[in-house]
Amino acid sequence: MTVHHFQPTHYHTTIGSHEPMLRVQSGDTIVTTTVDARGQGSTGEQITPPGNPMTGPFYVEGAEPGDTLVVHLDKLTPNRPTGWTRKMVAPNVVDPEYVIQMPWPGKDESTLAIWQIDNAAGTATLIEPASTSLGNFALPLAPMVGCFGVAPARGEAISTATSAQHGGNMDYRGFVEGVTVYFPVLTAGALFHIGDGHALQGDGEIVGTGIEISFDVQVTLSVQKGKRINWPRGENADYIFTVGNARPLDQCVQHATTEMLRWLQSDYGLDPVGAHILMGQCVEYDLGNIFDPAFTMVCKVPKRVLR
Amino acid sequence: MTVHHFQPTHYHTTIGSHEPMLRVQSGDTIVTTTVDARGQGSTGEQITPPGNPMTGPFYVEGAEPGDTLVVHLDKLTPNRPTGWTRKMVAPNVVDPEYVIQMPWPGKDESTLAIWQIDNAAGTATLIEPASTSLGNFALPLAPMVGCFGVAPARGEAISTATSAQHGGNMDYRGFVEGVTVYFPVLTAGALFHIGDGHALQGDGEIVGTGIEISFDVQVTLSVQKGKRINWPRGENADYIFTVGNARPLDQCVQHATTEMLRWLQSDYGLDPVGAHILMGQCVEYDLGNIFDPAFTMVCKVPKRVLR
Amino acid sequence: MTVHHFQPTHYHTTIGSHEPMLRVQSGDTIVTTTVDARGQGSTGEQITPPGNPMTGPFYVEGAEPGDTLVVHLDKLTPNRPTGWTRKMVAPNVVDPEYVIQMPWPGKDESTLAIWQIDNAAGTATLIEPASTSLGNFALPLAPMVGCFGVAPARGEAISTATSAQHGGNMDYRGFVEGVTVYFPVLTAGALFHIGDGHALQGDGEIVGTGIEISFDVQVTLSVQKGKRINWPRGENADYIFTVGNARPLDQCVQHATTEMLRWLQSDYGLDPVGAHILMGQCVEYDLGNIFDPAFTMVCKVPKRVLR
Amino acid sequence: MTVHHFQPTHYHTTIGSHEPMLRVQSGDTIVTTTVDARGQGSTGEQITPPGNPMTGPFYVEGAEPGDTLVVHLDKLTPNRPTGWTRKMVAPNVVDPEYVIQMPWPGKDESTLAIWQIDNAAGTATLIEPASTSLGNFALPLAPMVGCFGVAPARGEAISTATSAQHGGNMDYRGFVEGVTVYFPVLTAGALFHIGDGHALQGDGEIVGTGIEISFDVQVTLSVQKGKRINWPRGENADYIFTVGNARPLDQCVQHATTEMLRWLQSDYGLDPVGAHILMGQCVEYDLGNIFDPAFTMVCKVPKRVLR
């Protein structure tokens, strides 16, 4: 188990079969950094063009289509003193006839809100605009990864604006430190990409951003040979979960629920009828995002109801 | 404040401008019972035809369109020893091509699962079918109301299979004892209906049922004069929330989010930009149901971030 | 076969089990009138409150649940010199971020466009506003029924703003003179309602109206005993068609396509595989409306490919 | 104006910034061939792996982002004696609970239907399976392109299974010989790709295929400098039209309608209110496909109502 300290020199705004930046063995750990959604790094300077630039890809030796890539999110730490959010709920998230009642205009840079990040205190504090009724509103930090995943099959290179079976821009606030995430390996080496850190985020990413910020990141990558999955999966201390990325939300639910039904039967010793009965009364769903081209819903089953 | 003990003698499977069963004053409490979704009561006998039969309607003196009906769920107690669920995830909740892989057949009565309800122990235990890998699977009780609301406007009588702005069959597991729910009054007297108790339910009601059972119910009804709302709202110890009922889930989110934006600005002293910034980073969503003709999503804001 | 001349005296804005206005035998013809969507009649006076007021219901002797009501649209004639439309595409029909670029404001009465109707010439000519680049824009008349259907089951009374399996506000421009429409009988007597005439309409009713106008109407009603259908069906000289009413459009397509698969197999001598192959290469779809609470899509099969 | 005779030697199953196969001048004509969706050519041999392999890309000199690529479909001719279709309506196109009533099983090759193509007679005749009630069912040929478009921006390489603003697998049966199609140029040289010919197709491509076949193709490509569009557009003798690719169908309608509103105002001399009024009463919509990952709806305005 090697620890690689990797300093990215360029970035991608698609997740695809790009030239690997680093080759690692299954079980290795990578310590690296990510820029924010606009391509700005730890000193606030513009490092690369905007649009969720990815650190990576990382080639994991031995990973082949039909395997699963296991990603343990060891550490996710905002590495600069301020982050930013948009200030208005996205038009697609409100009733169509309400759109004209929103506080327009709102698209240029001057409309960004700025938040001060204090890792020691564990808080994000709104500092601009100073004029709202919120005043110096503070929220607890809950750092999470917005966009990560593996190269899709057959040479596709998918924009980091969106998500699919390979992962991508899922913007789910459950992807925090300590979580283990599983991706289907779709191409040799898996080609893992990561970026788009958020100091915290509400459900749905309904203003189109979390608190966007650059990160210090540590991840451990390993390969489960011959383990075939269809959609990203994950687990934390309390839950196993599956991730569906699509539009509309109904289809996200379909993907995630189907994947969970498969998982319960393949790995948790449940017969079909047992899996369905259990799901019916124990399932929980989280809304990842309802902003990106593909939305995200997460299907969760508590570990306490599984043996 | 009077306490009315009301024994229903007949039931409705629409929510509409039916003849009131009882007239109460604002602030009065009603102690009554509800039958289960199939019309079976506390002794298991068939009392009325199936289809979410409603107890009520209750006419609240002084309630007029443009007011809000406040419903406090004082007590919700399963009142018989067994409840039932369906055994298979509904076809619309899984990937369309997965439907044929499900454990069909599954629609006739013999396919119902039976759960033993123990109010003292606070558990529901699966007793039939005995043959699944779940064995005698036990879950903690969390009694909730599946279907309740007020008569819609203009003489509509809406099936208790579905939901809309008047409430109805929302099947949201957050409607538990202790919660306060707000409905827009749409006709004189509000005409409150209630039924379809669940001993517990997973998110989404994805098998088409919670654990269906008859209830002893106590509710307190009051009127907020001149308070106009658009969609059901609620609050518990930790959250205020709004409820959107529609299809697809995206539209539920639009209704609930718009209603929350209105609420934050009208009642919580937030300016438009402040309301949007706060929502962006603090909002949470629950999936009520993704089974009924209209689905339900709930938009929540934690009270700790409100003054 | 009797011809009934019926002069309506009051109207309903729900389709439901209202007191019949007239009882007719299967095969009888009804000659009557309808007011426009705002409740204005042939002289332009306000006859009844707005909201797609219905003429009827008409009770057809012998019709029982499980039968089909056959409605032949004998004559549909605008009966006054002007009709009106809204002037702006509905916010839900454009990209959410485009809504603020539309020519607001637009909701008050002054924003209605007025069209002169000339039955002899067969034209509708825009006369107000006179200031647009369209000038005195003329279109050929194509009179159609926006809202009609039968009482839903179990005492439901459904707003004439929306549609479902009983028909209702489908706003499909294919419902013109000469067309035969089939509705599932859901309650004794079928209880046929009709109203909301349009002098013409684009696909989708995307401004929320056709050219709204009062009509002289002649329909012939008959009952097919023991013929059970699930959704409205129809036929004209060239096509048989089925109608799906729901949200989103995807679900309309599902309802209409499923109903057509059933129809081809029950009435047109096609085996399952044959029906599927034929549908795959011969089906056509029309967009009824994408404005009402429930949208409408129509699934058509050309008669020339059926024996 | 040069005519290039181009014989493809390899193919792509993504549309992206691949190495150009040929460089042409604006106004040049290309005569070439396409393989069918499974990668089989004019003799039926397997030429390249399946999945809508594309001929191209073709680099058009002078085309830059912000321009429009004009594609005239000069000739589209099936070039072999048989084509194939799938035999079952896709599960997502019928009611979820109807899926188990369909004529399963149906996914393996043996389930393909085979059609004999007679260009001289202009017919496609079903020859396998011979056992259905359709017998030797014949339909008129209507050759169309299923998948074509330009490379997306920023290095994306999008699977030819789906579609977006760059075009792609739209499977719209209106893309026939004689039609002019406009694509937004998103990368230098436009990088035009074409493939996936259908001898004919129903609306919606509801069995997942048209009659799939290899083609002789002739197209003429030219560049409109400085003409910026957002979505594919087209025109034939009778209509101008815009194409929206997304999910659900509602969003396709939003994209296509918005694009048409822009077009009417920029090129057809309509003021905003005039454009909205005209659209309301004159628009027509076609369903491209409801099968691919992204669906397609087409918004049409008749040329007769435009000056």
**pLDDT tens track for B227-257:** 999 999 999 999 999 999 999 999 999 999 9
For C17, the closest chain B residue by CA position comes to B157
Please say whether the beta carbons of A291 and A147 come within 8 A. Answer: no
Residue A106: pLDDT above 60? no
Neighbours of chain B (3+ CB pairs under 8 A): A, C, D
Q: Which residue of C has its CA nearest to B53?
A: C154
Give pLDDT, residue D108. 46
Element housing A263 (H / E):
helix A249-267
Q: Which domains does chain B have, with CATH numbers?
A: 3-81+142-224 (2.60.120.580), 86-140 (no CATH), 233-305 (3.10.28.20)
Q: Which residues of chain C have pLDDT under 70?
A: 105-110
> What is the SS3 string spanning D175-197?
CECCCEEEEECCCCCCCEEEEEE
Instruction: Name every chain A residue with its beta carbon within 8 A of the beta carbon of D247.
Output: 246-248, 251
pLDDT at D210: 98
* Cis peptide bond upstream of D49, omega within 30: no
The answer to whether the beta carbons of residues C133 and D267 sit under 8 Å apart is: no
DSSP code, position D54 = B
Q: How many residues does chain D have?
A: 307
Count interface pairs A-C at CB distance under 8 A: 24
**Beta pairing partners, C239:** C302
Q: Which B residues in the span 92-121 are in contact with A, Cβ-Cβ below 8 Å?
A: 92-96, 98, 102-103, 113
Structural tokens at position C69 = 């009501």
- Report the residue of chain D nearest A15, measured CA to CA: D156
pLDDT at position C1: 82
Model-level pTM?
Answer: 0.97
Residues of chain A with C-beta less than 8 angstroms from the C-beta of C97: 91-92
pLDDT at A90 over 50: yes
Contact B200, B211 (CB under 8 A): yes
Q: Is B14 within 8 Å of C159 when comparing Cβ atoms?
A: no
Coil vs helix vs strand at A104:
coil
Provide the residue type at D272 as one letter.
P
Q: Does A55 touch chain B (CB under 8 A)?
A: no
Strand order in the sheet with D82-85: D82-85, D113-118, D123-128, D138-140
Tell me A304's DSSP state: G
Q: For residues C47 and C25, what is the distance between their CA atoms, to the nearest angstrom?
A: 29
Verify whether the Cβ–Cβ distance B251 to C251 is below 8 Å.
Answer: no
B121-164 pLDDT, tens digit each: 999 999 999 989 999 899 999 999 999 999 999 999 999 999 99
CA A289 to chain centre: 10
Summarised one tens digit per residue, pLDDT across range A179-232 is 999 999 999 999 999 999 999 999 999 999 999 999 999 999 999 999 999 999
Burial of D213 (0-12, 13-18, 19+ CB in 10 A): buried
Q: Is D14 within 8 Å of chain A by CB?
A: yes
Test B104 with D99 for CB contact under 8 angstroms. no
Residue A275 DSSP class: H
Percent of chain B with pLDDT over 90: 95
> 27-46 in D: which are within 8 Å (CB) of C?
none
Query: What are the structure tokens assigned to C167, written together?
Result: 């028909």
pLDDT at B104: 84
Structure tokens at D108: 């393996």
- Report the alpha-carbon distance of residue C67 to residue C182 in Å, rounded: 10
8-state DSSP, D157? B
Q: Which residue has the tokens 């506000």?
A: C169
State the smallest CA–CA distance between residue D144 and chain B in angstroms. Answer: 28
Q: Do C100 and A104 touch (CB under 8 A)?
A: yes
Overall average pLDDT of the D19-41 stretch: 98
State chain B's mean pLDDT as an integer. 96
